[in-house]
Amino acid sequence: ETGVTQSPTHLIKTRGQQVTLRCSSQSGHNTVSWYQQALGQGPQFIFQYYREEENGRGNFPPRFSGLQFPNYSSELNVNALELDDSALYLCASSLSGTTTLAKNIQYFGAGTRLSVL
């Protein structure tokens, strides 16, 4: 158990709808990262939130947006859903603000499986 919890576990939406996924980070962690994992692929980095601001982003369009709250929990919002958005969405928490990458190990939740019909 990593202490990272995601909700819901499964979700079915139709094309064009909007979706919000939620993540509670591990106690003591201040950074949340989101990843999209298509079937049979490795996860792809969507963005990272640190101190309630997005401080890193992968190659995803603006309809993918997020929030981080003062308690370090986070939301991923996807607007105008497309069929290709069907995937496992993984949230990872870590402790940033240290000087070495060694202390910034990301711990993942079990993910939200999104199906877009």
Question: Which residues are near other proteins by CB under 8 A?
Answer: 2, 33, 35, 40-45, 47-48, 50, 55-56, 58, 88, 90, 92, 96, 100-102, 104-111, 113
CB of 16 to other proteins, least distance (A): 26
Q: Per DSSP, which regions of the chain are E strands? A: 5-7, 10-13, 19-24, 31-37, 44-50, 53-57, 64-68, 74-78, 87-94, 107-108, 112-116
Nearer Cβ to other proteins, position 47 or 72? 47
CB of 54 to other proteins, least distance (A): 9
Nearer Cβ to other proteins, position 71 or 99? 99
Nearer Cβ to other proteins, position 13 or 113? 113
CA separation (Å) from 45 to 59, 64, 66?
A: 8, 12, 13
Nearer Cβ to other proteins, position 81 or 90? 90
| 78, 17 contact by CB (below 8 A) | no
Using DSSP bridges, classify how beta strands 5-7 and 107-108 pair: parallel, antiparallel or unpaired: unpaired
